[in-house]
Amino acid sequence: MTEAAVIATDQLTKQFDDYVAVDRVNLEVRPGEVYGLIGPNGAGKTTLIRLLAMASSPTVGDIYIDGQPLLRNQPNADIKRRIGYLPDDFPLYDDLSVQDYLEYFGQLYYLKPAQLNVRVTEVLALVSLENKRHSVISALSRGMKQRLSLARTVIHQPRLLLLDEPVSGLDPIARIEYCETIKLLQKQGMTILISSHILSDLEDFCTTIGIMEQGRLVESTRLQSLYRREGQQLLIAVLDNNAASLEIYLQEHPLVSGYERLEKSRSGQAGKLSVTFTGTEAEAADLLRILVTEGIRVSEFHYTQETLEDIFVRLGYRRTS
């Protein structure tokens, strides 16, 4: 746990009867990060976000926001002012106008009258709802309501934004617009923790990724590190009598974290290998040069970058199995 972390948890656990929804999670999110939380349904993402937002209290464990501990069954008003929480459902007050709704939440978060009007204008511009300022909420479309919910979440300029499945149910265009808005918020310096099943979106703006499975945070790493460690694949095919030398060489290479035989040669050795490579593209080129120098006759050499989705599926499968 570092003092500078916006979110830090220590052995955070939430247990419902015998079911452990969040299991001894030690999470750390640093200032300015966009932390993407991924995992299969029922992995505990929503429960973890609810715990961080104080919508639920932990069974055991501690939460620190900006180094300040959340106190059980206490108002924690000072910390609440720093958090913006958007749950996966977004209930609104249908009887209010967009402006009245945003003003109400601004006032709930102690925005002064002078700030209020400015902030309402700013957040409406952020979510492109300026022309709906005086519309009644019940008259808005689902996408608009979802954007209004985001506007409500950021009206008080929180330091930490907790977004639980914010783009679920949106059409592709609305989803892209929504993601652009999140990028804007990131540029404004907000620390964001977001859960989503649409990994291509997260890949676009997340700096860090956490993978949850059965309540455990099984992976928490910078996205670039994850790509380097798990996401780069080399496809190497060699001639028959060179297969054994290649395998020996790969086993000793520091940038190779593993390999898988795809086709066997006539001699029973690896003819074609899928290699998990943690180096850069230039280092892959160096590897090819060295193989050739060592006298290994390479017939195919491909360098590919896996998507987050591919990595997640592969890692998820690996861990579950």
Partner 1 sequence: MANWIEQLGDRNPQFLRECRGRLKPRSVMAAVGLSLIFQFLLYISTAEIGTAIRVSDQLNICRTLTFVIPYGLFVLGGYYLVDDLAKEEKSGTLNFIRLSPRPAFEILLGKLLGVPLLPVILIVIATPLHIISGLLGGVSPQWFLSYYLLVAAGSAFVFSLALLFGIVGSRSALGKQQALSAVGFAGLALIVIAPAFMTWNSFVTWRAFGAASPLFDEFNAAAPIEWLYLPVAANSLVAHLFTIGNLVIATLLVWRILLRKFRVPQATLVSKRLSYIGVFYVNVLAWGFSQSGALSAEMSLAGAVFLLVLNAFVFLGLIFALAPSRQMLLDWLRYRQHTLFDWIWNDSSPSVLAMAINVIIAAGLIVPWLLISDWPISDRGSTNLLSPVPILLATLSIVTNVLIYTTLVQIIFSMRLRSPLIWAVGIVATFAFVPLTIIAILTNGSSDRSGLMIAVWTFLGLPFWQASELGNVSIGISIGWLMQFVVLLLLLTRLARNLKQLASHKQTVSTP
Q: Is 53 in the site for partner 1 (CB under 8 A)?
A: yes
Q: Is 104 in the site for partner 1 (CB under 8 A)?
A: yes
Quick note: the x/- pattern for partner 1 over 172-211, rule CB under 8 A, is ----------------------------------------
Would you put residue 309 in left (φ > 0), alpha (ψ -120 to 50) or beta? alpha
Choice from 2, 3, 41, 112 touching partner 1 (CB under 8 A): 112
Q: Is 75 in the site for partner 1 (CB under 8 A)?
A: yes
For partner 1 (CB under 8 A), the number of binding residues is: 43
Question: How far is the CA of 45 from the CAs of 196, 197, 287, in angstroms?
Answer: 9, 11, 40
Mark 269-289 as b/e (b = at least 16 C-beta within 10 Å).
bbbbbbbbbbbeeeebeebee
Q: Is 13 in the site for partner 1 (CB under 8 A)?
A: yes
User: How would you class 302 by CB atoms within 10 Å of its CB: exposed for 0-12, middle for 13-18, buried for 19 or more?
Assistant: exposed
Q: Closer CB to partner 1, residue 53 or residue 273?
A: 53
Choice from 26, 71, 78, 142 touching partner 1 (CB under 8 A): 78
User: How would you class 116 by CB atoms within 10 Å of its CB: exposed for 0-12, middle for 13-18, buried for 19 or more?
Assistant: middle
Quote the CA–CA distance of 169 and 105 in Å, as a whole number.
24
Stretch that binds partner 1, among 29-37, 89-97, 189-197, 288-296 (CB under 8 A): 89-97
Quote the CA–CA distance of 102 and 108 in Å, as a whole number.
10
Stretch that binds partner 1, among 34-42, 49-57, 164-172, 307-315 (CB under 8 A): 49-57
Query: Which residues sit at the interface with partner 1, rule CB under 8 A?
Result: 11, 13, 15-18, 20, 23-24, 53-55, 57, 59-61, 73, 75, 77-78, 80-81, 83, 85, 87, 89, 91-93, 95-96, 100, 103-105, 107-110, 112-113, 116, 152
